[in-house]
A = this chain, B = another copy of it.
Amino acid sequence: MPTFALLLEYDGTPFVGWQRQKDGLSVQEALEQAAERLCAGRPVSTIVAGRTDAGVHAEGQVVQLSLPADFPPEKLRTALNYHLKPHPVAVLAAVLAPEGWNARFSALARAYRYVILNRQAPPALLSGRVWHVRQMLDAAAMDKAAKLLVGRHDFSSFRAAECQAKNPLRTLDRLDVRRFGERIEIFAEARSFLHHQVRNMVGTLKLVGEGKLKVAEVARILAARDRRVAGPTAPAEGLYFVGVRYPTALF
C-alpha cells in the first residue's frame, strides 16, 4: 500500500473545512473521493499536516495519502486534479512519501498568513479572501505587539474553547505584521498551533492597530491565560495555510 505526500492549494470558501463532516463537503472528502475514483472505489486514507476551518484557504497544505494501488506520482497528480474538478482544490505536487514519514507528526514548522484589506471600499477582487477592516490600522504598532507573543508561552488566552490539545504551551517562532499598501499581512510560524490560535492572535492585534489596546497590554493578555481577556476571533476567510517544513524537503 504505497503512501504519497501531496502538496495542495485550495480555496476554502465552499468547504466546511478540511475535515469530513456530515453537514457539507470538506476538502478531505473531495480529495478522498477523487482518489477513490482512481482506485475503483476502494477506500483510501489521508492524514493532513494542518486541519483548516471552514473558509480557511491553503497555498501549501500537505497531505499524506495511502492508496490500495500503485501509481507513478506524476500521473497521480494529474489524475487527482482531473477528478477534483470542479472543486477549487489543486494538487500542486505528488511524491512517494519517505519511509516513516507522517504528514502531521513529522512537521517541524507550519506557516500561516493572514490578510487584512484595510480600506474603506469593500473587496471586489478579494471577496472571501481577506478580512475587510475599514478603520485605518497602525501596522507598526501591531508588529510591536506581535513580538510580545513570540517565544514559548502558555497560549490559553488565544485558544478556542473547543481546542483538544492537552497542553496549551506552544513555541511561536515568528509573528510579523507588514503593510503592503492597503493590505496588511500577518505571518505566523510555529511547530504547531492551538485551535484558532492564529485567528485569535490576529483579532487581538487588530485591536492594537485600531488603538483600542496598547501594545504592552498584549503581554498582560498573554500572561492572563484566559480567553475572555483577549480580542475576538478574526474571520476565517483572511487565513491561508502557507506551508509545512519537514526534516527533509519533499517537493
Contacts and interface: CB of A to CB of B under 8 A. Distances in A.
Contact of A124 (B10, B77, B78): B10
Interface of A: 9-11, 57, 59, 77-78, 81, 85, 88-93, 119-125, 127, 129
A89 B122 CA distance: 9
Contact of A88 (B91, B92, B125): B125
Given A9-B124, A77-B120, A92-B121, 11 more contacts: A9-B121, A57-B125, A59-B125, A77-B121, A81-B122, A85-B122, A88-B124, A88-B125, A90-B123, A93-B121, A125-B129
Contacts of A11: 124-125, 127
Nearest to A129: B125
A183 to B, nearest CB: 13
Given A88-B127, A127-B88, A121 B57 contact: no
Contacts of A85: 122
Q: Chain B CB within 10 Å — which of A88, A89, A91, A127 has the most?
A: A88
A22 B94 CA distance: 46
Contacts of A9: 121, 123-125
Nearest to A13: B125
> Which 7 residue pairs are nearest across A and B when measured between Cβ atoms?
A90-B124, A90-B121, A9-B124, A88-B124, A92-B121, A10-B124, A90-B122
A10 B123 CA distance: 9
Contact of A119 (B59, B88, B92): B92
A24 B129 CA distance: 26
A91 B121 contact: yes
A57 B85 CA distance: 23
B81 A121 contact: yes
A110 B125 CA distance: 20
Contacts of A124: 9-11, 88-90
A9 B182 CA distance: 14
Contacts of A59: 125
Nearest to A85: B122
A120 B9 CA distance: 13
Contacts of A77: 120-121
